[in-house]
Structure 1
């Protein structure tokens, strides 16, 4: 499975702070729940990567 492979899986993503000062990404897909905790610095790095990917995706967007 790669980044460009289509899948028919629906998932829910929740993002928020924990009571322990971490940032949690909580992914739920069917019966599977995946909590992923990051310290604030790691979360900022992930946010930067997401923004960079969004910028790159805009340049690759196919016109209809």
Structure 2
């Protein structure tokens, strides 16, 4: 199985890897922090801006 097929099967994400899952509870927060290729810094964006940029798939993740 090719790498992108394995990725899609394990994560349920689309092959282009552009669809990010996000829990609806996270969208209630004023800001979202995320890793941007560095483990020592986490940029924060206004939640509405991050959603507009990432266009995530909204679904319950946390129990």
Q: Shared fold (TM-score greater than 0.5)?
A: no
Q: Which has the higher contact order (CA 8 A, sep 6+)?
A: 2
Q: TM-score by structure 1 length?
A: 0.31
Higher strand fraction (1 or 2): 1
Q: TM-score by structure 2 length?
A: 0.31
Larger-Rg structure: 1
